A and B are shown apart, each in its own frame.
Chain A
Amino acid sequence: MIPALRPKVELLSRDYVEKVIGEALDLLEQEGVFVENAEARLLFREAGMPVDEATQRVRLTSHLVEDALASTPPSILMYDRAGSREFTVGGDEVHFDPGSGAIRMLDSVTQKERKAATIDVVRLTRLTDACEHIHFQSTALISADVPEIVADSYRLYLGLLYSTKPMVTGTFRIAGFKPMLEMLAAVRGGSEALRRRPLAIFDACPSPPLKWSNLTAQSLIDSARASVPSELISMSLTGATAPVTLGGALVQHTAENLSGLVICQLARKGAPVIFGGSPASFDMRKGTTPMGAMETMMIDMAYAQIGKHLKLPTHAYMGLSDAKIQDAQSGFETGLGAVLAALAGINVVSGVGMLDFESTQSLEKLLIDNDICGMAYRLLDGVAQRDEPLAAHLFDGIRPDTQFLTMPHTRKWYRIEHRMANLTDRDTYDAWEGAGRKSIGDRAAEQARALLSAVPPNLPDPALQKELRSIMEADARSNGAAGLPDLP
């Protein structure tokens, strides 16, 4: 049997990849990066790097970067809440997760954006948990009904309560890391168990060009020491905060990510790091950051290729849209992004559910995107050889009235070779009209309501619920935040 070829797309020649890496290393050595965080600068000084305390500029030798690369694991095993199901973040594995950090919800009824509350976060989390093709959960939505100071820990709290999947999250304040780590350790039954079976990835975004803020550098250090995987989210805007050419932006992206990777490795050798990003082809008219632009996706695919060349796990913000409602644009941008990310073999693909430049989440879009991800996975499975011969035996004794519907061969293979449509319309016109002329958004809204009422929340055992609640309440109290919202 001939194995199925895994379809794969690469945008850069090997020479190009090496040129980008070479220029990035030169950039780090000659210009360096700005590191606001004193502890991170101390790590660089201890590693013998020239650090200018006045300007906070750190120069990194290629040797240091290469050492750091050598000690970074090429893949990471993530585990679900139960600690039993394993997910490889590495190789050409692809895992979709909802785009993280939205502050608004596209209201299911009014189809207008509004701020999000606890109930929205819970619904989105529960639906993500129910989506077969969305392997990871993310703290995708920030609820406005808790004090801003604990917004980071609160979204993780809700995620751990209502989802069984590995999480992608991050801090909004330095002090946020501790309660968040406590919650993760509580789920695992201790910090050692958490080290062995990572449950959450922490995102950390450098500020373009070539800056690490105090908060993000601290997140890298704290995560590395706790063996929590850090996802480096370089987010350059072409022609605004980075060179305008795709190649130029790639050099900056690579340099920023490599400097973050070094901070992680200096904090703890062997710390898990993911080479990720959220760059955008800056819109020179609107001043916006289109995530659905083809050039944005090209930068994503190209830096992921560079990450793979460096033998690192990869991540990108793809499979999301800048549209404001469920429309043709939201579908084509998400479809293109998810498929291209899959073809590029990007390990963690953040974006599903998201609209309006990473600012808004939608329950309906999440479910539509689940279908898109399913199609992308089908594509990755490729064209397999199921039989030997492929077909000759099916034509034995062929007659003019031969059909395949009743062949055992059809029955054996049709569910494996072909995916059923879920929300996608494959009705005849009359059937579609008879069913009420519904758009895919209408059908998704119905499915969201049905899932939320039919599928009970996937809560952990009551003792763990109580423990998570008490960590969350302690965090809120110590920040002077009175009472947390009641859970639905």
Chain B
Amino acid sequence: MEDMNACYARMAEAVVAGDAEAAAVLARQALDERLDLPAVIEQGYIPGLRRVGDLWEDGEYFLPELISSAAAMKAALAVLGPALEASGAAGLSRGRIVIGTIEGDIHDIGKNLVASMLSANGFNVVDLGSDVKADRFIDAAVETRADLICLSALLTTTMLGQRRVIERLRERGLRERFKVLVGGAPVSRAWAAEIGADGYGENALAAVTQAAALAAAKVTP
């Protein structure tokens, strides 16, 4: 047990240090040694992620640390995910999300931040990249049976395209099927309300909280 605790601590440390390589190596060792995978995630990696959240709240960590830690978490989950699914364990997916930057906008820094935080927090994320047309968001959401569509825009000019996606969802009779979360530098709560989005993430962490709330609301009618 001593040994296991030390092993979990190293996993947590890899996440806290934002060391994706170490996080993945430890995950592979866990597979090789046939460790209890749900326990590895719950007692190894998740406490690391929680510690990162605390460091952020305390003002110790800034975005470079936060995003590196998210990348480390993602690297571990990429190793453990397939084995978890194969083992028939419930898995850790909190929901499936289609994300992308609106048509006309090829700035994807904000979207990438949100996408990596969402994956690190156990969402199954389908990243469509940047300059994504309204219908492509919807087609991808239908194909992947997504719960949420996340729309990012950095420019004040392309932000207007977020409304278009929601309009197309209505026109295609799919508005009720997906929750829509909007974000991006110029996006405000008022804008989200105006275009009829279900949520608005003012930053990457808020997006995770919002997505979790929306996904939970969607599962439990």
Q: How many residues on A have C-beta within 8 angstroms of the other chain's C-beta atoms?
A: 32
* Chain A residues with CB under 8 A of B186: 103, 357, 359
Contact between chains at B156 and A113 (CB < 8 Å): no
- Name the residue on B nearest A171 (C-beta): B157
In the bound complex, residues from chain A placing their C-beta under 8 Å from that of B161 are 148
Distance from A361 Cβ to chain B, minimum over Cβ atoms (Å) = 11
Distance in angstroms between the alpha carbons of A208 and B204 in the assembled complex:
20
Query: A207 at the A/B interface (Cβ < 8 Å)?
Result: yes
Inside 8 A of A215's CB, which chain B residues have their CB?
104
Question: With an 8 A cutoff between CB atoms, is A142 at the interface?
Answer: yes
Output the nearest chain B residue to A144 by Cβ-Cβ distance.
B160
With A240-B109, A287-B110, A287-B204 as known contacts, state yes or no: A358 contacts B62, CB within 8 Å. no
B157 adjacent to A287 (CB under 8 Å): no
| Contact partners of B110 in chain A: CB under 8 A | 287
B156:A287 contact, CB within 8 angstroms:
no
Q: How large is the interface on B (under 10, 10 to 19, 20 to 34, 35 or more residues)?
A: 20 to 34
Residue of A101, A115, A285 touching B157 (CB-CB under 8 A): A101
Q: Do A359 and B156 have beta carbons less than 8 Å apart?
A: yes
Instruction: Count contacts between A and B, CB distance < 8 Å.
Output: 62
A50 at the interface (CB under 8 A from B): no
Q: Is the CB of B106 within 8 A of A213?
A: yes
Q: Is A36 an interface residue (CB 8 A)?
A: yes
Residue of B nearest to A239 (CB): B64
Contacts of A207 in B (CB 8 A): 106-107
Chain A residues numbered 252-306 whose CB sits less than 8 Å from any CB in chain B: 282, 284-289
Cβ of A113: which chain B residues have Cβ within 8 Å of it?
Answer: 188, 190
B94-153 CB contacts (< 8 Å) to partner A: 104, 106-107, 109-110, 113, 131
- Provide the residues of chain A in CB contact with B166, threshold 8 Å: none
**Which residue among B59, B113, B131, B185 has the maximum number of chain A CB atoms within 10 Å of its CB?**
B185
Please provide the chain A residues from 41 to 63 with a CB less than 8 Å away from any CB of chain B in the complex. none
In the complex, the answer to whether A151 meets B188 with C-beta atoms within 8 Å is: no
Q: Tell me if B203 and A286 are in contact (CB < 8 A).
A: yes
User: Do the beta carbons of A358 and B106 come within 8 Å of each other?
Assistant: no
Chain A 200-219 interface 0/1 with B at a Cβ cutoff of 8 Å (1 = within): 00000001100101010000
Given contacts A103-B159, A142-B157, A359-B186, A284 and B62 within 8 Å (CB-CB): yes
Question: Once the chains bind, are A36 and B106 in contact (CB under 8 Å)?
Answer: yes
Residues of B within 8 A of A287 (CB): 63, 110, 113, 203-204
Is A289 a contact partner of B157 (Cβ separation < 8 A)? no
Q: Which residues of B contact A211 (CB under 8 A)?
A: 106
CB 8 Å contact bits of B157-172 with A (1 = contact, 0 = none): 1011101100000000
User: Which residue on chain B has the smallest CB distance to residue A173?
Assistant: B104
Residues of chain A contacted by B64 (CB below 8 angstroms): 239, 284
Q: Which listed residue, B63, B107, B188, touches A285 by the CB 8 Å rule?
A: B63
- In the assembly, what is the distance between CA of A287 and CA of B59, in Å? 14
A213 touches B109 (CB 8 A): no
Bound Cα distance A286, B110 (Å): 11
Contacts of A173 in B (CB 8 A): 104
**What residues of A have a CB within 8 angstroms of the CB of B104 in the complex?**
172-173, 213, 215
Contacts of A151 in B (CB 8 A): 157, 160
Question: Is residue A27 within 8 Å, beta carbon to beta carbon, of the partner chain?
Answer: no
A237 touches B109 (CB 8 A): yes
A-chain residues with CB within 8 Å of residue B107 when the two chains form the complex? 207-208, 241
Contacts of A114 in B (CB 8 A): 190
Cβ-defined contact, B185 with A213, below 8 A? no
Q: Is the CB of A284 within 8 A of B63?
A: yes
Closest A residue, CB atoms, query B191: A115
In the complex, what residues of A have CB within 8 A of residue B194's CB?
A: 115
Most interface-central of B156, B159, B160, B161 (chain A CB within 10 A): B156
Q: Across the interface, which residues of B come within 8 angstroms of A358, CB to CB?
A: 156
Annotate A355-370 by CB proximity to B: 1 below 8 A, 0 otherwise.
Answer: 0011100000000000
A325 interface contact, C-beta 8 A: no
Chain B 172-208, CB within 8 Å of chain A: the 1/0 string? 0000000000000110101000100000000110000
Q: How far is the CB of A205 from chain B (nearest CB, A)?
A: 8
Shortest distance between the CB of A400 and any CB in chain B (Å): 62
A140 to B62: give the CA distance in the assembly, Å: 33
Q: How far is the CA of A260 from the CA of B106 in the complex (A)?
A: 16
Q: Specify which chain A residues have a CB less than 8 angstroms from the CB of B155 in the assembled complex.
A: 101
Task: Decide yes or no whether A102 CB sits under 8 A from chain B.
Answer: yes
A283 to chain B, nearest CB (A): 8
Distance in Å: Cβ of A337 to nearest Cβ of chain B? 19
Q: Name B159's closest neighbour in chain A (CB-CB).
A: A103
Task: State the Cβ distance, A237 to closest chain B Cβ, in Å.
Answer: 7
Q: Are A289 and B203 in contact (CB under 8 A)?
A: no
With contacts A102-B156, A103-B156, A215-B104 known, is A288 near B185, CB below 8 A? yes
Query: In the complex, what residues of B have CB within 8 A of residue A241's CB?
Result: 107, 109
Within 8 A of B (CB), among A409-447: none
Against B, the Cβ 8 Å flags (1 = close, 0 = not) of A93-129 are 0000000011100000000011100000000000000
Tell me the complex Cα distance, A148–B103, Å.
13
Q: How far is the CA of A213 from the CA of B161 in the complex (A)?
A: 17
On whether A101 and B63 interact (CB within 8 A), knowing A237-B109, A357-B185, the answer reads: no
Q: Besides A207-B107, A286-B203, 4 other CB < 8 A contacts? A: A148-B161, A239-B63, A241-B109, A359-B185
What are the nearest 8 A-B pairs in CB distance?
Answer: A284-B62, A103-B156, A148-B160, A207-B106, A284-B63, A172-B157, A359-B186, A213-B106
Contact sample, A vs B, 5 pairs, CB 8 Å cutoff = A113-B190, A172-B157, A287-B113, A288-B185, A357-B186
